[in-house]
């Protein structure tokens, strides 16, 4: 499955923001080890937004993240935030499974 790993990114400091992204990436690595393809949408969206010089970075980020969410088979929600809840809503509208813990995710094909 293509599994979106979603959770908080925004934070009070740049260090906390980077810690949040590192947590998403660590969980994504575990998703991959379980035989799935993980997607951390902020990793795809952030460089594009920075390069484009878009003023409203949050809404641009969410437009990309929501478009990616539509293409995922499931979401692993590791924490709540405004953006994570928006991604979750997209997946729920599409009828895709929502997992809240890594141990809920079924094993994928062996690699």
Please give the residue range of the domain that contains residue 19.
2-73+80-103
Q: Looking at residues 41-68, what average pLDDT do you find?
A: 93
The answer to whether 75 and 1 have CB atoms below 8 angstroms apart is no
- Domain tally, the chain: 1
Q: Looking at residues 81-109, what average pLDDT do you find?
A: 93
Could you tell me which residues come within 8 angstroms of residue 78 by beta carbon, excluding any fewer than 6 positions away? 5, 6, 7, 23, 24, 27, 100
What is the per-residue pLDDT across 12-29, written as a single tens digit (0 to 9) for each? 999 999 999 999 999 999
For residue 89, tell me if it sits in a domain: yes
Per-residue confidence band for 32, with pLDDT thresholds at 50, 70 and 90? very high
Task: Answer yes or no: is pLDDT of 10 > 90.
Answer: no
pLDDT of the residue at 109 = 85
Query: What pTM was estimated for this model as a whole?
Result: 0.91
For residue 6, tell me if it sits in a domain: yes
Nearest Cα neighbor of 49 from 67, 40, 62 is 62
């Amino acid at each position: 499955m293509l599994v979106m790993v979603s959770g908080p990114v925004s934070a009070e400091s740049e260090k906390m923001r980077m810690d949040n992204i590192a947590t998403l990436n660590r969980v994504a690595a575990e998703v991959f080890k379980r035989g799935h393809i993980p997607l951390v949408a902020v990793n795809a969206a952030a460089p594009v937004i920075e390069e484009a010089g878009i003023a409203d970075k949050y809404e641009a980020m969410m437009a990309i993240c929501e478009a990616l969410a539509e293409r995922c088979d499931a979401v692993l929600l590791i924490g709540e935030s405004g953006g994570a809840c928006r991604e979750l809503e997209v997946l729920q509208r599409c009828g895709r499974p929502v997992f809240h813990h890594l141990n809920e995710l079924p094993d994928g094909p062996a690699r």
